[in-house]
Structure 1
Amino acid sequence: MTTDIKNKKSALAIAAVLVVGLVLGAAILRTDKVQPAGEDHGHAEAGHAEEGHGDKGHDKEGHSDSDHHAQAAPATRGPHGGKLFTQAGFGLELSIFETDVPPEFRIYLYHEGRPVPPEQAKVKVRVERLGRSPELFDFAAEKDYLKGSATVEEPHSFFGTIEASIAGQALEFKFEQAEGRVQISEEQLKRNGVDIAIAGPARIRSSLQLLGEIRLNQDATVFVTPRLAGIVEAVRANAGDRVRKGQVLAVISSQALADQRSEVLAAQKRLALAKTTFEREKRLWEEKISAEQDYLLARQAYQELEIAVESARQKLGSLGVAPGESTQGLTRYEIRSPIDGVVTDKKISIGEVLKEDAPIFQVADLSSVWVELTVPAKDVNALKVGDAATVQSSAFVAQATARLSYVGALVGEQSRNATARLLLPNPKGLWRPGLPVTVDLTSDEVAVPVAVLAEGVQSLGGGPVVFGRYGQLFEARPVETGRSDGRYVEVLKGLTAGERYAAKNSFLVKADIGKAGASHDH
């Protein structure tokens, strides 16, 4: 009897377990399922909600982030790596795709676990960012997904609302994701010395850092040539010597010079004879002893010889030879410096036979030098003649000011660089040709609509960012920068006038974001 009772109890227990198993199985079968597509399509955190930051501040429409958290629908990871929302048997997966394209929203649709053609749905996404007006994205069918109508700008940190109509079924989902965001109280800011500034208009004196090299001022440099062939008899200057204008640099013996001097002397002798004949014929004609024709012929001969003598003297003078030098020998030729300066090159030796066009000395006036600059093509239009510059030596401590005197009209085909030139006064000879220098070029002041203090710009994620202040939150805002004068930096994109941001000690905000792991991994 006792055995029968035990058998009946065991049978009832087994039956109960079977009933529970059937109920659970039915429940699982009724649950909506989405079959994995096996593809990873870009942004894997399209619905990530930041946790543990408490008060999140307020956006322009007065919604607090705590309200957004309350309204955001729970979601899971979808087969394409996006955020999957489900409702009434329908599934909607939202991802941010950015592989080889600017970031864009992509939406995949499902019903009862099966893909839905994108043409059968209408979707709109409203995005609200801290300190910004809402953005509305429309969607159009493309391949097996819906593509957003605009680029999803960085940072990908916002509260969003999805409104969809799939096969006549109206759906709405809310989500939030945050990146590059950290909460810091006013007390913490004060304790760490982080100052808050306001982005706005500023006057920026554009500055451009370039590398350069000191070169000879070619406008004050001469090459000395003998202008006559001859043999070198003496050399009286060496490279590095300082010389004065007219100082003898070398002496050569030239037969061509002897011929030229002989021509001058012969012409002078003929002129003296012609002068005597002319004066005699003039006197005889005045006394009516000789005919007028003889007087006129004598005068003509005298004038022609005057011209010949003057021509011979000018030929001699063009060689830099004074008539009085002929007393020291017809072949002696003294080569003189044409300017005050320094001998920077010498190519002459005693006994050498020179050609008339051989460059034997280079003399340069080093009271001024050139600074040659290599300018990238993108910066050429920012330069203009007359711009001020500060020149600093990279070999020793020295600094001087100069003006831009030349901007090249051509860009190198290989280097894609242009050449610019500064005229640098060098009264003490400190700036020697060949010396490498750094140049800080400064143009006129320009008014810009949005600028921030230079110390407020940090590098994060491979680009410049400014940490905007929104309530108790800081959020990294990627910016496109323009001109800078070392104090202010022009902001072309990413920040608007009137926004507050971390200025002094902004690197501490960057450190807190790094410690909090708040930057998003795209």
Structure 2
Amino acid sequence: MQLMKPLYWILVATCLAATPLHAVEDTHDDDNDAQSSAPETKGPHGGLLLTQDDTTVELQIFEQGVPPEYRAWVTKGGKPITDDVDLNVQLTRLGGQVDTFDFVFQGDYWLGDGVVTEPHSFDVDVTLALNGKQYQWQWESHEGRTRIAADIAEKAGIQATEAGPGSIERTLTTYGQLTIAPEQIARVRARFPGVITKVNVRLGDRVAKGDRLAKVESNESLKTYDLRSPIDGVVTERQISVGEVAGEQPLFAIADLTTLWAELRVFPGQRTEVAVGQKVRLQAEGFDQRASISHLLPSPGNAPYTLARVEVDNPAGTLSPGLLVAGDIVVETSEVPLAVENRALQSFRDWSVVFIQVDATYEIRPLELGRSDGTLTEVLDGLQVGDRYVVDNSYLIKADIEKSGASHDH
């Protein structure tokens, strides 16, 4: 936390102030054409009031009981205009998407032909053609947006990735423990009865195939011969000491621990969905590995479950037999056209969002979500394939935007 705290304040310091409305230069040659910046005053219906000369357009995003829509009221000389109006609104979003709205009169107001999708963050271009004269207003209306310099984002560990297709997995959770397969244990006996004259290994020692384990003096020949390890492994049993007589009993057990087996209990209610070859995510404290079911066996002692055996790689020997593990068995996989990593998701207002990145600018994208697993969530709406979204430390973007007091005022 001591590392992240100063980085957080660095991020806060980069937060953009609200972008002021700005005037747009007249690019029309016709003397009847005119443009004006959008003032901050509100009209009688609560919308943004755009004025030039004696002409006004009150523009509002209305979202009470309906999906967000544009409504407008046009007046000239203080009188409402209800026909012969060509009104157009063009919204340019972060990333270049352009939404265009034309308007038709509805008896009390002019209605835009479409839904103003969230986030309501865009550059706005309004044009009005009335009585042969054209008016234009342009301004920035940004919310849920911030800029963070690339070097600061790198120091804070903010990383983005490209949105695309994904595989959503449905799993069953099972439990079991790690074991050693019988064929991975070698028990070493004396070839001929005799007295142990030397022991070269202790419990827990690692040995290689051919290493000397002990020396035995034969009772018959009185000659000494070596007991050697038949495999690479760890000494897990030692049943003899110097001076004792070696007979037919095993003297040493050598276990190959480079591979273990997870034996997971699959109960009757789960059995119909479990099959050989299915992927499994095995987890325990300090252990997380993906593998596949190799065998399905009846449980010993007629217990009411089946054992799903899963091979576990253990090249460093860090895992021990008897370790309790959880196994998430993948019983169904669905390919979806668009998914995001779960760690990227944040709550913002009443939405689940990710933060897209375009150069040094970051902005919320409210999402409609579908199926989910422990890693990925399907996206039904709100994001496009190819959009770059923040996966690492996305909470810092959220904190920076919330600190800036981004509004939702139209």
CA deviation digits over 1:360-385, x for unaligned, max 9? xxxxxxx985448xxxxxxxxxxx95
Residue 391 (structure 1) shift: 12
Contact 1:369 1:424 in 2 (8 A): no
Of 158, 161, 180, the residue aligned with 1:197 is: 161
Is the partner of 1:150 in helix, strand or coil? Answer: coil
Instruction: Say whether 1:112 aligns with 2:77.
Output: yes
Q: Which residue of 1 aligns with 2:141?
A: 177
> Is residue 2:388 matched to residue 1:500?
yes
Given the alignment, which residue of 206, 222, 245 partners 2:169?
206
Q: 1:463 aligns with which of 344, 351, 354?
A: 351
Contact map agreement 2:168 2:336 (CA 8 A) in 1: no
Equivalent residues of 2:172, 2:331 under 8 A apart:
no
Give the partner amino acid of 2:54.
Answer: G
Matching residue's letter, 1:88: D
Query: Which amino acid counterpart does residue 72 of structure 2 have in structure 1?
Result: I
| % identical equivalent positions | 36
How many angstroms does 1:473 deviate by? 1.3
Distance 1:391 1:82 in 2: 54
Aligned to 2:100: 136
Which residue matches 2:376?
488
Asked if structure 2 preserves the Cα contact closer than 8 Å seen for 1:369 and 1:425, the reply is no
CA distance in 2, matches of 1:124, 1:444: 48
The aligned residue for residue 365 of structure 2 is 477
Q: CA deviation at 1:481?
A: 2.2
The one-letter code of the counterpart of 1:53 is L
Shift of 1:389: 10
Q: Distance in 2 between matches of 1:486 and 1:162?
A: 45
Q: Distance in 2 between matches of 1:70 and 1:431?
A: 77
- Residues 113 and 462 (structure 1), Cα distance of their counterparts in 2 relative to 1, 3 Å cut: same
For residue 464 of structure 1, report the CA deviation from its aligned partner.
Answer: 1.2
Aligned length: 263
C-alpha distance 369-201 of structure 1, shift in aligned 2 (>3 A): closer
- Higher strand proportion: 2
C-alpha contact (below 8 Å) 1:368/1:424 kept by paired residues: no
Letter in 2 for 1:136: T
Partners of 1:468 and 1:476 within 8 A in 2: yes
CA–CA separation in structure 2 for the residues paired with 1:516 and 1:431: 59
Q: Distance in 2 between matches of 1:188 and 1:52?
A: 12
1:97 aligned to which of 62, 70, 73: 62
Cα distance change, pair 208–492 in 1 and its aligned pair in 2 (3 A): farther
1:466 maps to amino acid: V
Q: 2:87 aligns with which of 120, 123, 135?
A: 123
In structure 2, what residue type is equivalent to 1:143? Answer: G
> What letter corresponds to residue 333 of structure 2 in structure 1?
E
Tell me if structure 2 keeps the 8 A contact 1:127–1:159.
yes
SS of structure 2 residue aligned to 1:512: helix
Counterpart in 2 of 1:324? none
1:108 Cα deviation from its structure 2 partner: 0.8
In structure 2, give the amino acid aligned to 1:458.
Q
**Does residue 448 of the first structure (1) align with residue 336 of the second (2)?**
yes
In terms of fraction of residues, the more helix-rich structure is 1
From the CA coordinates, give the structure whose radius of gyration is larger.
1
Contact 1:124 1:139 survives alignment (8 Å)? yes
Whether the 8 Å contact between 2:93 and 2:121 is mirrored in structure 1 is: yes
Residue aligned with 1:190, SS: helix
In 2, Cα distance between equivalents of 1:190 and 1:391: 32
Q: Distance in 2 between matches of 1:457 and 1:144?
A: 41
1:495 Cα deviation (Å)? Answer: 1.5
Normalised by the length of structure 1, the TM-score is 0.44
Offset of 1:121 from its aligned partner?
A: 1.5
Equivalent residue, structure 1, for 2:117: 153
1:186 alignment partner, one of 133, 138, 150: 150
Deviation of 1:155 (Å):
0.4
Q: Aligned in 2, Cα 1:430/1:116: closer, same or farther, shift over 3 Å?
A: farther
SS across alignment from 2:151: helix
Distance 1:209 1:105 in 2: 48
Structure-2 change in CA distance of 1:471 and 1:112 (3 Å): same
Structure 1, unaligned stretches of length 5 or more?
A: 1-50, 57-64, 211-366, 373-383, 393-402, 404-422, 433-437
Give secondary structure in 2 for the equivalent of 1:193. coil
Q: Per-residue displacement from partner, 1:469-504 (whole Å, max 9, x unpaired)?
A: 122211001112233332222222211222222111
State how 1:55-454 maps to structure 2 within 5 Å. 69=22, 71=24, 73-75=37-39, 76-117=41-82, 119-202=83-166, 204-207=167-170, 369-371=267-269, 442-454=330-342
- Unpaired stretches in structure 2, ≥5 consecutive residues: 1-13, 25-35, 174-264, 283-292, 306-325
- The alpha-carbon deviation at position 467 of structure 1 amounts to 0.2
Cα 1:183–1:70 shift into 2, 3 Å: farther
